[in-house]
Amino acid sequence: MSASPTLAIAPTASAGLDLARIRAEFPILRQRVHGKPLVYLDNAASAQRPKAVIDAISECYSTYYANIHRGVHLLSERSTAAYEGAREKVRAFLNAASVQEIIFTRNTTESINLVASSFGGSTVKTGDEIVITGMEHHSNIVPWQLLCERTGARLKVAPFTDAGELILDEYERLLDSGRVKLAAFVHLSNALGTLNPVQRMIELAHARGIPTLVDGAQSIPHVAVDVRALDCEFYAFSSHKIYGPSGVGVLYGKQALLEAMPPYQGGGDMIRLVTFEKTEYADLPNKFEAGTPNIAGVIGLGAALDWVNAIGLDAVAAHEHELLDYATAQLQEIPGLKIMGTARDKAALAAFTIQGIHPHDIGTILDREGVAIRAGHHCAQPVMQRYGVPATARASFAVYNTRDEVDALVKALWKVKELFE
């Protein structure tokens, strides 16, 4: 991965995107809510799906669905081929060395829990430490807290500045204790929009022999990820944030580590041989995929990655960056509005508060104007506590958003002001 892929591109590069055509591929965007055209700016919570993804899922169920890895019949063979084909697409998307390093889960949360439970459970002992950052989503906090409770290890939190930038020196200092067993951190913060210097963070950890996990839930649709260039031990993301179906997640893990780790769940598909005395586990990746997976969902994720590749993540990132700049400039014109998260390296979302108006009220009023945003703590309550606010409003962008939609957002925000004057 290049050092800062999002920012390396001039904003004008987005001129290459045919937005009308892209939007036409998303059936859900063609609707009115409360009598107004839908302006969907809650993409950081979950993106929408293009027709190619919906069709891939529908085709699976209509023509060739069967359980995988166990049938000798044609449908099972076809389903298995499509499912494993999607694994290869994920491998290529992340530039992983082997499909054995790609584990399908339910979501980012489960991917992280898998590592906490299996890797953490087998390597972390009393007195050890796990390092995270202060801007983590709850799903990269709570699994480690549970692990610490079970093992007597301690969680160490690297702080960030008022602008929302990680304090790298503090992070490095925490790594120096000699007791750290893993550093786990978010690539792109869902509460602040901060793009963390993950390449550097991984290098700093590796210099001390510490393995790393990157929470890629937000970065995956915005930043080109090359796990071999990053050299992280684990990378986790969710299908539903990159135009794929919900209910599917991915855990990338380096093969040697995954091989050494005990299984996460037991059951069918993850075994080689079961007797009542002893069970031999299956090889990777099946060892970590117990039970019947979300077959059509995984196939849908494959279709989503094809779709993103056809447009090109660099073009997507450039377009979103231009939208973010455009939105940021206009939001700053609104009296009393404060943007939370002003890191130099930032992508895809603007979180903000308005003096004297609770984000929930902003969200409700915007909804009546057709504008869907998220209001709340964004599953990052420690970030809210850091800034002393209960919640924020957040507009987050995807490839199909337009400048007109930013205008609609801003216009609706002026209405909020008017109503509360």
Partner 1 sequence: MNDLRDLYQEVILDHNKRPRNFRILPQPTHHADGVNPLCGDRISVFLDIEDGIIRDIAFQGAGCAISSASASLMTEALKGKPVAEVEHLFEAFHNVVTTDCECPRGLGKLGVLAGVRDYPSRVKCATLAWHAVRAALERHAEPVATE
Ligand X SMILES: Cc1ncc(COP(=O)(O)O)c(C=O)c1O
User: Which residues sit at the interface with ligand X, rule CB under 6 A?
Assistant: 107-109, 137, 139-140, 186, 190, 215, 217-218, 238, 379
219 binds, among partner 1, ligand X, none (CB under 5 to 8 A by kind): none
Kindly state the DSSP code that residue 188 receives in the 8-state scheme: B
| Element counts in the chain: helices (H) and strands (E) | 15, 17
Supply angle C-alpha 241, 243, 245, rounded to 5: 85
137 binds, among partner 1, ligand X, none (CB under 5 to 8 A by kind): ligand X
In terms of CB distance, is 66 or 379 closer to partner 1? 379
390 binds, among ligand X, partner 1, none (CB under 5 to 8 A by kind): partner 1
In terms of CB distance, is 109 or 196 closer to partner 1? 109
Give every CB contact of residue 376 below 8 A, 6+ residues apart in sequence: 359, 360, 391, 392
d(CA 240, CA 48): 8
C-alpha distances in angstroms, 280 versus 114, 182, 270, 275?
19, 28, 9, 9
Q: In whole angstroms, how close is the CB of 359 to partner 1 at the nearest point?
A: 8
* Region of residue 393 (phi > 0: left; psi between -120 and 50: alpha; otherwise: beta): beta
Q: In whole angstroms, how close is the CB of 40 to partner 1 at the nearest point?
A: 17
379 is catalytic: yes
d(CA 139, CA 114): 12
| Amino acid identity, position 286 | N
Q: If you search the block for the tokens 């984000």, which residue do you land on?
A: 359
39 sits near partner 1 (criterion: CB under 8 A) = no
377 sits near partner 1 (criterion: CB under 8 A) = yes
In terms of CB distance, is 379 or 389 closer to ligand X? 379
Dihedral pair phi/psi, residue 300, rounded to 5°: -65, -40
Stretch that binds partner 1, among 42-50, 57-65, 325-333, 384-392 (CB under 8 A): 384-392
Q: In whole angstroms, how close is the CB of 413 to partner 1 at the nearest point?
A: 14
d(CA 279, CA 362): 56
Helix (H, G, I), strand (E, B) or coil at 62: helix
Q: In whole angstroms, how close is the CB of 233 to ligand X at the nearest point?
A: 17
Stretch that binds partner 1, among 57-65, 259-267, 319-327, 370-378 (CB under 8 A): 370-378
In terms of CB distance, is 1 or 75 closer to ligand X? 1
For the chain, the farthest-separated pair of C-alpha atoms sits apart, in whole angstroms, at: 73
Q: In whole angstroms, how close is the CB of 420 to partner 1 at the nearest point?
A: 7
387 sits near partner 1 (criterion: CB under 8 A) = no
Q: Among 357, 371, 373, 393, which residue interacts with partner 1 (rule: CB under 8 A)?
A: 357
Which residues in this chain contact partner 1 in the complex, by CB under 8 A?
356-361, 364-365, 368, 375-377, 381, 384, 390-391, 415, 419-420
